[in-house]
Structure 1
Amino acid sequence: MHFEKPSKEKPCTQPTVKKLLEEKRKRETSSVPSPCSHSSLVPPDYKHLSAAEAANCPVDMDTSQSTHLTFRTELDQNKLRDAQRLLDGMDFSRITEQDEDGDTILHIYTAKGLRECAFVAAQRLKSLGALDEKEHKGKTALLVAVTANLPDIVHDLLSLRADINTCDVYGQTALHLAAHYGYSLVLQALLSHMHPPNLEARNFDGMTPLHCAALSHCLTMKAIYTGAQSDLSLSSRATEMLACVQLLLSHGASLLSQEIKSNNTVLHLAVKEGNIDLVRFLLKIPPDNMKVFVDLKQFVNMKAHGHTALHMAAGLHGNPYQKEMLQLLLCRGADPSIRSLENDQAAHLLQSGPVGEQLKALLKRRNTSSRRRILSLQDKE
């Protein structure tokens, strides 16, 4: 008996979700070089919807969220009803199944920015205990929403109790991803959740979200300092990334946290990368405005593999901000007499020549002044 082969569905001509996310990321980063070495921070390979689904979904044409506007927390009730009808008419297995890459329909709706469809799908999956299903790179729908810079969908998923501390295959939590990309509204949505995320969670590089935010800001500022990138949006991107640093600190992230691989604090990272803007910010933070009190003198003199921030600043030969960094650190209590594991003081790491001699005199004056204060206190006792 002859059986006629079923006709294959014609391929959809619309761009894939992966392509849409890549284009979205390209617009948002405005040619800022990626500060992360992991491919986990590239939007995942989500498939497009079928032509029928795409035609019936209530699509919001402008799904991108401006980081300078407050995102709306209310769902569009008309679109919500349309989404409910769409999923009611869908085969149950289509809602629950995962494809060869582990994507559920919730991952796809989220990546497409189809808020109301994602919300209804999330409700269905939550009832089945599958709200936090992971795709092949370990991303839940929440992590996809963060990567796509969709604070409204992040808000919706958190309201349905999506796991805020889950991580992908590289150990990146939602906070790590938001901090890395400089998505301040997404970060705000995460930090304002009734069950706050773990601010000190470590990714597999041993970094906290605060480290990720600082590193991203450093590399963006490096592009500005060197003039390697002339895009005018770099400045606004740097502002957003600094806002992420501030948000994390105001919610209790610790300035004293050290990344595991190199023991760097955010101050070490800023000085090492020659990021004067971040150094100024970190050394002018009033402790009273922070959730966690920090002894700034202790913070400034912390060591990373034997080197203080002052040692690192002394090694910035030729950097136009070297002198200012040294002065800022000294004003905040940096101790020039501290020695590294190689028994070097900061003065020993300065460049040779007239500039190095001037900076050495600066360190020597502060060292002498510190010794005089110590002797004066001893005499009073």
Structure 2
Amino acid sequence: MVSAEVCPPNTDQPAVAQSPVSFWNDSNMVCLDLDDVSSVTPDMVTEQDQDGDTLLHYAVIHENISLVKKIIHVIPQCSVLNILNNINQTPLHLAVITHQPQIVRLFLSRGACTETRDRNGNTALHLACRRGCLTCVQQLTIPLQQKEIDGADYHVSFQRIPQDPGLLNYDGQSCLHLAANSGSKAVLDYLLSPSVGYNVNIKHGRSGRTILHEAVCDRNLNLLIHLLRNQTCFKLDINCEAFDDSTPLRIALCNGNKEAVLLLRMSGAME
């Protein structure tokens, strides 16, 4: 049996078993060779095992593109794409975790919901940003074209792509905070580009800190310099206050971070 429970415990990486697998549902056991796509029937695609995983969860975990496409062809409606397992992962979450941008895009074109949250409140885009996976981030933020949707065998409802930039996970982190923490300048710059248009001054849901605050707090000099160099382009509010009224400069002064103090002052920060 494949479990989509995280492995090791503090990550969201699914465990992978070898094909064939025994797929348990509520009433019986189905033994399926994941390489045999011809055996997939419409009745099988909504069944869930004891971990809440569907056949589509399994196919994604095993990176079996042929089986994924077969399942999508036989599903009766897009709600099947959004079935949650026991830790609130959809197949879309797993496609990001296993770094399969092609499958990510296919799911979106067939109506997979972009704003479904896992047990930590992360959408698929949150996970892609946290992992610094630019290709997955791009697939999740480029609006769908009609020709992509036309391939579906059922009606695909309109949804906002990219998702609401203010959507926070349960730790109060936005996609932008996660991208900054990942260390991926490519993802960060992409989210802040005019084509996506995320707000560089978005505040952390618990602390009210922007990514500039966090760069100072974490003594992340590379991120700090990158943000200040692109201050005008990013429309950076260098004097933005967190919920405790702290600005990036005040934090740098309190922490004795002389390099940050100098950089912030040279860039126009006020005490």
Under TM normalisation by the shorter chain, which class is it? Answer: 0.7 to 0.9
Letter in 1 for 2:240: M
Indicate the larger mover: 306-315 or 202-211: 306-315
1:255 equivalent to 2:194? Answer: no
Structure-2 change in CA distance of 1:308 and 1:286 (3 Å): closer
The 8 Å contact of residues 122 and 169 in structure 2, kept in 1 or not, is answered as yes
Structure-2 change in CA distance of 1:17 and 1:135 (3 Å): closer
Q: Which residue matches 2:262?
A: 327
In the alignment, which of 177, 181, 185 is matched to residue 242 of structure 1? 185
Mark the runs of 5 or more structure 2 residues left unpaired by the alignment: 22-30, 145-160
In the alignment, which of 145, 164, 168 is matched to residue 198 of structure 1? 164
Which structure's CA Rg is the greater one? 1
Q: Which residue matches 2:112?
A: 162
Separation of aligned partners in 1, 2:60 and 2:112: 13
Letter in 1 for 2:91: A
Separation of aligned partners in 2, 1:306 and 1:128: 45
Q: Which residue matches 1:135?
A: 85
Identity over the aligned pairs, expressed in percent? Answer: 29
Structure-2 change in CA distance of 1:260 and 1:198 (3 Å): same
Q: Which residue matches 1:211?
A: 177
Separation of aligned partners in 1, 2:57 and 2:210: 35
Alpha-carbon offset, residue 45 of structure 1: 4.9
Root-mean-square deviation (CA, aligned residues, Å) is 2.6
Count residues with an aligned counterpart: 243
Q: Deviations over 1:165-217 (max 9, x none)?
A: 21112210111101111111111111113232222211111111101122233
Separation of aligned partners in 1, 2:181 and 2:67: 35
Q: Which residue matches 1:301?
A: 239
Mark the runs of 5 or more structure 1 residues left unpaired by the alignment: 1-11, 24-37, 58-85, 218-240, 337-381
Q: Which residue matches 2:210?
A: 265
* TM-score normalised by the chain length of structure 2: 0.80
Alpha-carbon offset, residue 49 of structure 1: 4.0
Q: Following TM superposition, where does structure 1 have runs of at least 4 consecutive aligned residues deviating by more than 6 angstroms?
A: none
Alpha-carbon offset, residue 331 of structure 1: 2.0
Pairwise mapping of residues 11-160 of structure 1 onto structure 2 (< 5 A)?
A: 39=10, 41-45=11-15, 48-50=18-20, 53-54=32-33, 57=35, 86-125=36-75, 127=77, 129-160=79-110
Secondary structure (helix, strand or coil) at the match of 1:261 reads coil
Separation of aligned partners in 2, 1:192 and 1:92: 30
* TM-score normalised by the chain length of structure 1: 0.58
Q: Which residue matches 1:378?
A: none
Structure-2 change in CA distance of 1:191 and 1:175 (3 Å): same
The 8 Å contact of residues 17 and 111 in structure 1, kept in 2 or not, is answered as no
